[in-house]
Structure 1
Amino acid sequence: MNKSQKVIIAIVTVLVILIGGMTRYVSSSSNHLKQVVSKGYLPIKNDYKGKNSKTSESFLIMGLDNTIERKLGTTRTDSLMVVTINHKTKKITFCSLPRDSFVKIDADKYHGMQRVEVAYTYDGPTASVNTVQKLLNIPIDHYYVFNFLSFVKIIDAIGGVDINVKHDFVGVTKDGSGGIVFKKGKQHVNGLKALSYARERHSDNDIMRGYRQQEIIQAVEKKLKSPQTITKIPGIVDAIDHNIQTNINSNELDKLIKNAPEYANYKKQRITFDWRTFSNQGRSMIELYPDSISNVSHQLRVSLGLSNADYRDKAQYQFHTNGNYLFQSDYTVQDKFDEDSESTSINGNNYVGINGNTKTGPLPTTKTKNGFVTK
């Protein structure tokens, strides 16, 4: 493979922390990428108190629902994904976190319960990283925030991607209005349609949206391995210019570039939550079942080499929640039948919470110039 190809894997690694198969790179393109990434560099205060592994690393990838073009009144993380890479076991693990998950927010400005999507609104990536770390009891070494504009531009820059739509539905545009029609089956989509596909959740649920996001990531990876993509490197790098935010510095970027070719042969693991929906003060929330959080936390810690594997990690094991839940619905959005129909529990539900534990503070409003919170 020629030297240009390593730039491709560098871009994939920085953008979505993914697997590639490229080897060498052209120094001029690498410098261009470093300059672009440096513009979005923003270190954070990491409050994780546990041990970090020397043979693995973790990433929190977030997608914003705001851009300078959309001019929304505030900014939230429309999608969140935890990715771990274990260089000893040669495994990459993906875990999507539903944006409506009702969790304890860890921010300077707020420490109560809210949807996880608003952690970023309170205190930017610092709050998002620390909230996810405490929820899952894992360290987050790196974070990467992208906005819708960069997503659309990247997909368009590589000439679109191929997806396999599981059922018909009408998706939203990047502005949230209008509709984009999807028909069941395999198809090629541009950036705008890929974004709509990755954001869709109303035709099924947030867990399936996580699957679609991972499908898009894998489609991007496949497209970037194509030799024809080499000529599109400048456009790919330009697509993320001024559209990213990360704590990956120049030295860490060099390390990612150096190690990236090995990721092509790493095993992939996908982890999901068991969850239920509930209504709270006129808003729909997702409760991640406590035992599901514990199970996901265990799997992620094993993936990072921080905990030992046990019976839960055997190939034949399948987790199912016991159905114990903490948050009582007020049924202001959906009735009991509709909420129960969206639960992933096969064992029924049993309320074990306490009164008043659904109390929340006011939703934050943070004005930004370009959609990114820079605290």
Structure 2
Amino acid sequence: MEQSYKMNNFKLKPAHIILLATLVLATAAIFLSWRSPLSKAIRNGERINGVIIGTDWVDYARHSDTLIFVSYDPSKRFLDVISIPRDTHFSPAGYNFQKINEVYAYHYRTKKSDKAACHEVMLAVEQLFQDKAAIPYFVRVDYSSFKKFIDLVGGVDLDVEEPMNYDDSWGKLHIHFEPGPQHMNGQKALEYVRYRGAAGDIGRVYRQQRFMKAVVSRFKNPYNLFKLPKITAVLAKEIDTNVSLWDIFSGLIELKDLKVRNIRFAQLPGAPKRNYWEVDIENSAGLMEKIIPSSSTVVSQGPKIRIEVWNASGKNGLAEEISWILRKQGFDVIDWGTFSVRQKKTLIKDLKGDIRSAQRIAEILSCGEVVTRFDERKLVNISVILGEDSIPVPGALKREE
């Protein structure tokens, strides 16, 4: 009787309930997503392409503020992310718009349908990449859903590199950040990714990519594993997408296991021209060919990788000294010198899709943000721009006679 009484009065702790809910949801997700094309692709290790569309409201109309192409290889757990500047020149026949960010706004206004507008954006991005990638999936996020998601995962930690100040009383946007480490809630994170600054849309792309790295890192917090059911439910309610609730859950499970070093961040190749970002057709095609066939290019192309090293630190002779260090490590440094402007952070540009070699250089230097900026015309594989955070390894400068 006493044992029965204790069992009847047993109470599950909140952590137990959350864990049980997670297990139930995981079981249901596996069962219900068995026939889902996206979940099936994950199980079979097939590449998955999609677009992330960030929208805002301006003058009571919805606009596309952010556009990102993502391509995931489940077999290698490797993710490619290509940021598409919103001023990218795109003027298809039969339409009056000139920029890629006008596609969503036009079709949302004329078709009165969010999903129809998102479908047109998918088609536009396919056309932008010369139909080298079929894009079956989209996720549309607005400011409100963005803030709720960031708050739900506990905010993000970012290192602000420079003062960020912007005031727009008409648009009710006020952004103020001082340099240094910051923990940002949803509102602050939104301000960070929206800020343009002197570098315009390209500087904004850099910040958005840093932010995405921070989100992936934050998502690995064990506490968020227990919150997966709630995160899934909130996303299903707050975002617009053509994937199911169970596919969202499967995607979050994959995100939890994704390593930051297995994300290759790139920007749509091109250059500013008048009021547009003019697409470099040749390099865009080359970048897609690196991504779509396989992820084999993440492995180093060989022991002799051609490098250029530029000193933006203000420390005399640093480019030559770092060049010597990298040569001792087997890299072929073919050029070095002084960069045109000073910068605080070291930047390591992967110009050929060989992210592993770029990451190795960052490890040797103990600093450096790695980004992919594909350019087939460059004679070098990697461009290293040394910032004020560059410090030569002690003893590494001693040259062998």
Change in CA separation of 1:319 and 1:216 when aligned onto 2, cut-off 3 Å = closer
Partner residue, 1:26: 23
> How far off its partner does 1:251 sit?
6.0
The residue that corresponds to 2:244 in the other structure is 249
Residue in structure 2 matching 1:145, options 135, 140, 150: 140
Unpaired segments of 5 or more residues in structure 1?
8-24, 33-52, 324-375
Shift of 1:75: 1.4
Q: Which runs of 5+ in 2 are unaligned?
A: 1-14, 30-43, 108-116, 303-351, 359-371, 379-401
8 A contact 2:216–2:256 mirrored in 1: no
Q: 1:181 offset after TM fit, Å?
A: 0.8
Residue type of the partner of 1:88?
S
SS at match of 1:103: coil
What do the CA deviations read for 1:284-338 (whole angstroms, capped 9, x no partner)?
Answer: 3221223332233323324579xxx999445589744769xxxxxxxxxxxxxxx
In structure 1, how many angstroms separate the alpha carbons of the residues matched to 2:279 and 2:222?
42
Q: How far did 1:82 drift?
A: 1.0
Q: Conserved in 2, the CA contact under 8 Å of 1:172 and 1:200?
A: no
CA distance in 1, matches of 2:211, 2:20: 21
Are the aligned partners of 1:143 and 1:247 in contact in 2 as well (CA < 8 Å)? Answer: yes
Assess if the C-alpha contact under 8 Å between 1:169 and 1:183 holds in 2: yes
2:149 maps to 154
Mapped to 1, the partners of 2:255 and 2:97 lie a distance apart of 38
Deviation (angstroms), 1:78: 0.5
Letter of the 1:294 counterpart: A
CA contact (8 A) 1:150 1:243 kept: yes
Which of the residues 57, 69, 79 maps onto 2:66? 79
| CA deviation map 1:194-218 (0-9, x unaligned) | 1111112233232332222222222
Taking the aligned partners of 1:6 and 1:224, their CA distance within structure 2 comes to: 20
Shift, 1:219, TM fit: 1.9
Residues 186 and 286 (structure 1 numbering): CA distance in 2 closer, same or farther, change over 3 Å? Answer: same
TM-score by length of 2: 0.57
- Paired position in structure 1 for 2:119: 126
Structure 1 CA distance, aligned partners of 2:160 and 2:239? 28
Residue 177, structure 1, aligned to residue 172, structure 2: yes
Aligned to 1:225: 220
Cα distance 1:313–1:231, how it changes in 2: closer, same or farther (>3 A)? closer
Q: 1:159 to 1:145 in 2, by over 3 A?
A: same
- Counterpart amino acid of residue 91 in structure 1: F
Aligned to 1:292: 283
Is structure 2 residue 99 aligned with structure 1 residue 115? yes
Count of matched residue positions in the alignment of Structure 1 and Structure 2: 276
Any idea what the Cα deviations from partners look like across 1:144-195, whole Å, max 9, x if unmatched?
0010001111222233211111211214689833422111121111211111
Mapped contact 2:139–2:241 kept (Cα < 8 A): yes
Give the counterpart letter for 2:121 in structure 1. S
- 1:26-105 superposed matches below 5 A: 26-27=23-24, 55-66=46-57, 72-105=59-92
Secondary structure, counterpart of 1:179 in structure 2: strand
Bigger-Rg structure (1/2): 2
**CA RMSD in angstroms, aligned pairs only:** 4.1
Q: Name the SS for the 1:75 alignment partner.
A: strand
Partner AA of 2:50 in structure 1: F
Which protein is richer in helix relative to its size?
A: 2
Tell me if the contact between 1:198 and 1:213 (Cα under 8 Å) persists in the aligned partners: yes
Q: Cα 1:58–1:171, aligned 2, differ >3 Å: closer, same or farther?
A: farther
Aligned-partner Cα distance in 1 for 2:161–2:268: 20
Please list, as runs of the form range in 1=range in 2, the aligned pairs for 1:163-242 lying within 5 A after superposition: 163-171=158-166, 176-229=171-224, 236-237=231-232, 239-240=234-235, 242=237
Letter in 2 for 1:163: L
Judged with a 3 Å threshold, the aligned counterparts in structure 2 of structure 1 residues 322 and 180 are, in CA distance, closer, same or farther, namely: same
Q: Percent identity?
A: 22
Letter in 2 for 1:121: A
Which residue is 1:344 aligned to? none
Q: 1:321 to 1:204 in 2, by over 3 A?
A: farther
Q: Tell which has more relative contact order, 1 or 2 (C-alpha 8 A, sep 6+).
A: 1
Q: Does 1:301 align with 2:292?
A: yes
Deviation string for 1:243-287 (max 9, x for gaps)? 3111113564465466555534872212223433333xxxx3221
Q: Is the 8 A contact 2:45 2:75 kept in 1?
A: no
Moved more, 269-278 or 80-89: 269-278
Question: Match of 2:325?
Answer: none
Q: What's 1:36 paired with?
A: none
